[in-house]
Amino acid sequence: MENVNKILRNGNRQDTIEAMESLEQVLQATEVNETSSMSLNNVVVFLHRPRGSFAGLQISASDSEATSDKTVTNSRVSVHLPSEINVGLNTVVFLMLTLPGTNKTSEVLFENRLVGLSVSGRNISGLQDRVNITMNMNSAAMNETQKPSCVFLDFSTQNYSTDGCDTMWKPGQSHITCSCDHLTYFGVLLVSADLPPEHLEILSYISLIGCSLSLLVLVLTVLLFMSKRKVRADVSMKVHINLTVALILLNVHFLPSQTVAALSSPGLCLYIALAIHYSLLATFSWMALEGFHLYLLLVRVFNIYMRRYMLKLSVVGWGVPAVIVSLVVVIDRDTYGTVPLDSSKPNSTEICYIVDHTVKMVTTVGVFSLVFLYNLIMLGVTIRRVVSLRRRKQSGHIDHETAKRDICTLLGVTALLGVPWGLVFFSFGYLTVPGLYVFCILNSLQGVFIFIWFLMSLRKIGNSAAKTSSIKTQSSNS
């Protein structure tokens, strides 16, 4: 037991499983008169050998004690073994282990606890009268985005499986019961709560329609930009059009991703996954550069000249994402592949994207978190500057037309900076469903908002040009 405890504290997954198997074999071979209980740090053991016919067994265990003849104080786990097991003169082994907290997946093992049940010399499975393992769970054990799922450790694959186990739990309950038809090592995984299928279908349609509409108007935006010579000379419009191109690339590759994944073409799926990852990072980069350009316009008003400014922005906006994606491919090409659209359901519809959870979190969520924080600050600076300018110009009355223009300007800046993307951080708990709907609608329609902003900018440039022409005409006449 001391050796197992040492491995539990310091060993890896393989060493831990081997130690569990070795300890179980030793305990099964241990001579027991009737019952025996022992514990040491992360291991609690209870052995039972019936004297007569086996009429079932009830075991209660805390972090330091296990017994069958009374309820222990601060009980964590209780087990009911049915008489169907009919152990005869063999020894029943109860083993409760606390594993090291090294889980690197999105699934969390409740309290890192496994409960092992076995009978010496026998393999128990296919029970009609099931084994029930009940674990106490406080309200702080999981958040609203998680739900418990009863699993057992499959020693052959070293993964958790739900085969032969039913989860008996309802929201608000302080305990969960795992009802299983075999004996092995059991635990409770806290997995992401499922979004109802009807919501997933609606969200999919919203994304499809919104992204298709955005793609159409974004292409129209680029065509308008290319057809207007005065617009092409405007630096701010050049920054906007680069963000537009990044979004076009993202939509062009995202829309067919589901179809490509269904084709079972590894090469084509790899390309789509790479393209989505790159264009998503490029979108984030140009959102950040929109914030940087806004900073120059509002804060460094009289000192904004930079030599080869657009070239430098392009190197950052298009080059940094290329470096990140290239590093991922060089390190592990298998990082890209087919992944379930609903991560909580492995058999759900698949798309071509990033397979590795860690890479996805670091290179997408991590990068966006930094961009979102920076652009949120830039939006705050913009609001402060607009309010400050209006206070200076106003003389005791409110110009409603000016206020409307200011609101439209701030909304346009919000879309360019990608601030609505930050709604993904609020898509949890009680806000899960409404938060996802708002996030899905606003972000799939980002291209539409940018197109509207572009039209407003064209009108502004046109009015400015007309005003300048009028002034020149008046000057020549005078």
As a whole number of angstroms, the distance between CA 113 and CA 63 comes to 10
Query: Could you report the per-residue pLDDT of 46-102, keeping only the tens digit for each?
Result: 998 887 788 888 999 988 888 887 777 788 899 999 988 888 888 899 989 887 654
As a whole number of angstroms, the distance between CA 355 and CA 340 comes to 9
138, 44 Cβ separation under 8 angstroms = no
Residues in the chain: 478
103 pLDDT above the threshold of 50: no
As a whole number of angstroms, the distance between CA 83 and CA 66 comes to 20
> Counting Cβ atoms within 10 Å, is residue 384 exposed (0-12), middle (13-18) or buried (19+)?
exposed
Mean pLDDT of the chain: 79
Q: Is the four-CA dihedral 257, 260, 265, 268 of positive or negative sign?
A: negative
Q: Following DSSP, what letter does each residue of 329-395 receive, concatenated?
A: HHH-GGGEEEEESSTT-TTS-EEEEE--HHHHIIIIIIHHHHHHHHHHHHHHHHHHHHHHHHHHH-S
Q: What is the pLDDT of residue 286?
A: 93
Provide the terminal-to-terminal Cα distance of the chain, rounded to the nearest Å.
102
Domain ranges of the chain: 2-192, 197-464
> Counting Cβ atoms within 10 Å, is residue 228 exposed (0-12), middle (13-18) or buried (19+)?
middle
Q: What is the pLDDT of residue 53?
A: 82
In sequence order, the 6+-apart residues with CB closer than 8 A to the CB of 302 are none
3-state secondary structure 210-266: HHHHHHHHHHHHHHHHHHCHHHHCCHHHHHHHHHHHHHHHHHHHHCCHHHHHHCCCH
190, 167 Cβ separation under 8 angstroms = no
365, 427 Cβ separation under 8 angstroms = no
378, 295 Cβ separation under 8 angstroms = yes
Query: Could you report the per-residue pLDDT of 160-192, keeping only the tens digit for each?
Result: 888 889 988 887 788 899 999 999 999 988 876
As a whole number of angstroms, the distance between CA 368 and CA 106 comes to 19
Query: Regarding predicted confidence, which is higher, 183 or 423?
Result: 183
E-strand ranges in 112-218 read 113-119, 131-136, 146-154, 159-161, 165-168, 175-180, 185-192
CATH number of 2-192: 2.60.220.50
SS3 content of the chain, % helix, strand, coil (to 5): 55, 20, 25
In sequence order, the 6+-apart residues with CB closer than 8 A to the CB of 453 are 240, 412, 415, 416
Range scoring the smallest mean pLDDT among 158-167, 214-223, 244-253, 436-445: 436-445
Among 329, 313, 339, 324, which Cα is nearest to 278's? 324
Residue in the structure block whose two tokens are 């979190």:
361
Q: Are strands 336-340 and 165-168 parallel, antiparallel or unpaired?
A: unpaired
Q: What is the pLDDT of residue 245?
A: 94
Query: Regarding predicted confidence, which is higher, 313 or 414?
Result: 313
197-464 CATH, one of 1.20.120.160, 3.40.50.720, 1.20.1070.10, 3.40.50.300: 1.20.1070.10
Question: Bridge partners of 74?
Answer: none
Query: Could you report the per-residue pLDDT of 216-239, keeping only the tens digit for each?
Result: 999 998 998 888 887 788 888 898
263 pLDDT above the threshold of 50: yes
Structure-block tokens of residue 438: 């708002």
Query: Could you report the per-residue pLDDT of 343-385, keeping only the tens digit for each?
Result: 555 445 678 899 887 888 889 888 988 998 988 888 888 778 7
Q: What is the pLDDT of residue 131?
A: 94
Q: What is the pLDDT of residue 107?
A: 58
Long-range Cβ contacts of 463-471 (<8 Å, 24+ apart):
465/230
pLDDT tier, 140 (very low <50, low <70, confident <90, very high otherwise): low
pLDDT tier, 105 (very low <50, low <70, confident <90, very high otherwise): very low
As a whole number of angstroms, the distance between CA 402 and CA 411 comes to 14
414, 420 Cβ separation under 8 angstroms = yes
**% the chain with pLDDT above 70:** 78
Among 447, 428, 454, which Cα is nearest to 255's? 447
Residue in the structure block whose two tokens are 């092409």:
232
Other beta carbons within 10 angstroms of residue 150's beta carbon come to 23
pLDDT tier, 11 (very low <50, low <70, confident <90, very high otherwise): low
Q: What is the pLDDT of residue 389?
A: 67
As a whole number of angstroms, the distance between CA 383 and CA 374 comes to 15
